[in-house]
Each structure stands twice: as C-alpha cells, then as structure tokens.
Structure 1
C-alpha cells in the first residue's frame, strides 16, 4: 500500500496534496486510511516486535532470526513463524552478528594420533567426545590466547585456559580443567588439530595418564575440527570483533565472562535444536536433580562466605604468631602479604558472585 509512503513524506514536511498528486492517489483515501484503526494483525506485530527487541537485547545483540525464534518458541512459549520473526526484525532494524574473520596459523607437526572422529561430531552421551583448539586475539598490549575444550554432546565448554603465551601449558591447563569438572571415563576421545601444542609430549602424556584417547584430523584441514572452528567463529563475532581491546586483562576477563556467564548457561545452540546446554536424560538420577539444584543454589553463598572467613582468620593467625616472635621486625612484610591476600580474595569473591548471579538470573534450564 502506498499510503504509508505518503505518511512518511508528510512527516518529512512535504504537503499531503502535492504528495498524493505526484503518487497518483486521492487525499480523501489517504485521510480515510489515516483514521482507520489498526488491525489485529498490526497490533499483534507491534507487541511481538517489542518482545523480539527484548530477546535481542538479552542476547547481547547477537541473535539473528533463527535463535530469536527459538527463544520465543522454547523459552517464552510464543508460537510464531520464523519468517514472521525475520520480517519484524528487518522492520525494526535488528540483525544478528554474522561476520567471520579468517584465521591463519603455522604448519602443524605430524600427528601422533589417528583421526577417530572423521568429521562425525556426534555423541550418544556426555563426556564421550571432546574437541579442543586454540584461538588468539590482539590487544594494545599484545595478543591473548585462549584454549578451550568443548563437549560435543552438550556443546558446553568444559575446560578453558587464557594466557599471554601459546606454549603447551595452555592446552594442558584447559584439559586439566575439563577432567576436573567432568571426571571422564577412560576412553573419552579428545579431538584436536595438528598444532605443536597438541602434538607435544606433555599433552600426550596427560591424555595417557587420564585414560583419554587422542584424535587428530588432517594437516591444514579446518573442516576436520569443524565444531571447534564454529565455536571460535561464534566467539569472534559475538565478543572479540565487536570492539577493540586495550589490555590483556580486559580481554581475558571478557572471555571468561562470555564463556561462564553467557555461552555455557544461557546461549541457545542450533546443533542441539536451539536448546541451551543439554546434558542428556539420566532417568535413574532424575529424582535427585531437584534437591541437588536447590542445595547448590543455597550452599554457594555460604561456601563463599566460609572461604573468605577462613582466609581472613588464617591471615590474622599468621600475623599473631609472627608478632609474638618478633614484635617490631617480622610483622611488617606480613602486613603487606595480608593486604595482598585481601585484594586477591575480594577479586575472586566478586568474580564468582558475578557468575553465580548471572546463572541464577537464567531461569530456563534445559
């Protein structure tokens, strides 16, 4: 219909009579259209658009039409078509982030493990297949490197490590976190590329001691580790490439917050039907899930408080002992050590509190 165009031109200051004459429509028809009440469809679209704006904002302006549609359908129980969502998002000027940055790396060493995955990134249950890789991103101070381990079944980042170096310790630390978090059974496959960090002796030794099976794709084939490439692409477009970073600490904190406060607990994933992280049904343990969740939510504040109390009490005890031994000399460095401990504990307490609050705000668990 051409009347909305007449209305827009009139809002810009053009006379209605001139606009109608140029466009070949009658003024009476325009004024009749202007006074006509909005249709039920228009009102429904306006209400749905407002909800879409809220969902898009809660996704940190990263969701496109498919994930917004999934959030409306699965998270809010609103039945609507994906094409309608795309139309309303286009009208509202809302878009998801979709830029993918090309990455390059050094030529990897020969693989000590054969390819056990062969591009089949599926698993029947959690902790049967993990994939891992490293990414880097520049800051004003220099590059920041991040290694991650992703569980193929749930799409959860089960282990990660952030540092200012790209030595083998980076990937070993990420694997250590994954093993500590998930306690995998012997035989779990850890798939990676042929980077020197993953072909190193220390990484292979850690795999063997944990009873894990190494797996590596072909040389210079990103498709052989496609799931991790997809994860890094998501991080690049939803976090890293959206702004410039001044310091390594700033970028490292942002990576930590994005993984633990958004990607792991909240983000919807197309690979598992736009659900959030899915750990799979364990029917014989289902009756324990509710009390475990309730206990974990209530215990977290007490564990944080107990940790702070223990550190404070330990600091005072050490200070009292050294003061009794040498009242004027020894306590001086102990005072500075206690001050450092206070700062570190305050930082850890604030970071953990941020993560817990962010996870508690997300009431829709899958």
Structure 2
C-alpha cells in the first residue's frame, strides 16, 4: 500500500488473501502513527490534506540528497514536497486572513442590511403617506382653501381639522396634509389656538364692526339716485345713458358705477330687452406641447373654384410644436368621413399611433361628426374644441390659412379643377415644411424643428454672432440676437402663461 506502488486495497486483498476490512484497519492504524499511506486511486495532486501533511512530516528531517531519493521511492517531486510544506506553514495565516475577510464582509453586509432596512422603512412611510393623502383629497369637500383670504365656514373648518388629524394619524406630515387642502399650517394653528380638542375658531370677519367709508353715499343721495332712475324721463334708460344726460342738464349725483351699485342693492339692476343677457364664457382648455406629434390642430378652408360660388375644400392638419403640416387633402365637399380619413392617414404617415395626442378643432359639423369622433377614439386621440362663437381659440390653423392664401402664387381667379388645387397645395406644403423660415421658430423650417435639428442650427447661429461681435464690438450697442430655441408651445394658454409661442403662428 506504500507509494510508489500504492496497490489498491481490493486487489491486494485478492492477491494476499486478506480481507479488505483488515487492510483498512491496518492502513488507519498506520496513518494514526504518522505513516504515509495515501489512497491508491488518487495521484499526488489529489491526495488529501492529511496525506500531504504526513509526507511533509516524513521528509522534514531529510537533507537534499536523501529527500531526492525519498521522493523517487514514492513517486513524488521535491517541488511538490516544498509546495506542500509552504501550504502547511501558510495554513494558519490563510485561516486568519479568511476570518478577517469574513468578519469584514459580515460588517459590510450588516451595514448594507441596515441601509436597506432604513430605505424600506422610508419607502413604506412614503407609500403610507401617499395613500393617506389620496384618501384625504377624496374626503375633502366644500370651500376648503382655494385662495388666500377666502372665508371658510365653521363646519368646514372643523372638517378640515378633523381630516388633517386623521391623515397625520395615518402617517402624513402636517405640512403635506395642509398643502393637500390648500391651507397653511399657520392658518390651522390660528383656528385651533386656545380651543378644546375638535373645536376651532369661527371666522370673525362677517360679524366685525367696520367703520363706514368716508366717501360713502348718504341715504339722501341713494334715494335721489333711485328717484332719478325711476322717473318717467329715465325709467327706460340704463345708468350708462342716465349719467351723461344728467351731465348735459348740469347735474351730477354720482358716478355710473355708483348708480349701478345702488340699483343692484335695491334689486333693480337686471337685464332688460330682447337682446341676450351677457354670459361669462369658460376659458378654453390649455395644452402644452413639448415635442412633435403631441398636439395637432386642424381646420377646413375654402378654395375658390372656376365659377363664382363654387369651392374646393382644403383639409389641413398642423403640428403646433414644429408648425409642420402633417396632413392635407383637397375635396369637393365637407364631410366628417373625409376628415376622419385625413386624420387617420396623417397618424400613419407620422408613425405616432402609440403616442398621446390632442387634436384641436373648431365646432363645425365635420369636426364633431360621429365618424370623426369614432376615429379619434379608436386612434387614442383626445378631441379638443374651440368655444362656441369664439373665433380665436384655433389660432394656429387660422394663421396658417392666412399664410397660404396670401402667397404670391395664390390664383386670384380661382382653381380650374380639383387637380390644379391639389397640385398647388402640394407645392405650398413642400415649401412651407422644407423651405419656409418660420418667424415663430427663430426662423427655422418646420421640418428642422420636427426632426430635432433646431438646437444645433440655432447654436451655430449664436456662435457666429458671438464671433462677429468679438470681431467688431463697437458695432454692437445692445444684446445680440436671441437664437435660443423657443421651447414648449401652448395651445390657448391661460393668462398667467406666456403666449409668445402663438404670437406669430405663421
């Protein structure tokens, strides 16, 4: 069983007639005494750590010549004994290094776990806060918030305080809860100051004693106004006509607004006559386009035909962000089915089926036809319409039609046939999209802005102007020309939104 023969135990048992169990016992006893008895099937590199250690111990006291002879007898190399000895000597160092490394790894893992636990707790709190805020906004009602100085009734104040307490109990910060109900923390503290739980101060402004204005009309003057307005001479006239007539007579009682205020206070200021009473129009919905194929606007304009009173109809769709004409067709009638086809083909041509889009139009029959609405719903397009009898809610299309009809090549005597009208519109669209330097786009073509080339072109112009100014600074008395991109474009912007994007629509 000793190397280099290392006869397997099974074969040795058959050759010598000794049982395998006995041979295993003998090998185990020899190993316990430190004798080198490796497994017969394993080569030196596959020996167990115990066998390698036994070989190192057995060869430790040998000199170089004896070691070489000993290695030859056992089928080993001196280099193997040397490597095994170094491994045995470094075993303790590796164990210590592994222990230190494991300890460091354990500390890092614990730190990472704590950081993850903190992040998880933070996200759980944020999620709970968001859910509680949703519940808070859903429950909120009445005249809560909505502007500084607005009077809030006592029941609504109590409701507000109760909702905020419930939200805070659910994990919402007081600042976020107050902001959700459009009131400040200072207002909430003022309501609760010095009051028991669940109670709030009532608004003291309705019952406050206020001094009368020094310029207030006296009771005699108010009676004089009513007497004049109800006299036979002025009974059928509004204050806007009564005041000038009194001035012609050399009488001044009060201003026109004071007349209206006194009549309103006595229930005598109402609309009269056959004309429709004035009404307040709701502002149009505002949309913002930050890129192409987000907001389109379209309309139909008439193109004169060969005979007076005959017309062709130009269907034209414009992207308000880039001012690119994305779809057009000429037909001999106005129909919702034709308009739906134009929109569908424009969507296919621009490959923007999956994008969110808004299509704005006026209130004409082709714009609101059933076929048109069905097509928009199928394409996932949001329909936007101008207000009734308000002509400037669709400014982009109107400005584009003006540019179209004021072209030098526009035939003043009309188009001979539909083919000529189509050819003219095709040439106009090609010029408008590819050659027309649009004033509202810092004189960049619609195709360039639609393709995203606008920043590069304007940056090149700005660099050119900077170099020109540096070359001749005495010629520049003010700022250089603005070559910055115009950015987002608004459709029907609110009063607090700049309308520079639609000032020069064409």
Scaled to the shorter chain, the TM-score interval is: 0.3 to 0.5
| Higher relative contact order (CA closer than 8 Å, sequence separation 6+) | 1
Pick the structure with greater CA Rg.
Answer: 2
Query: Normalising to structure 2: TM-score of the pair?
Result: 0.31
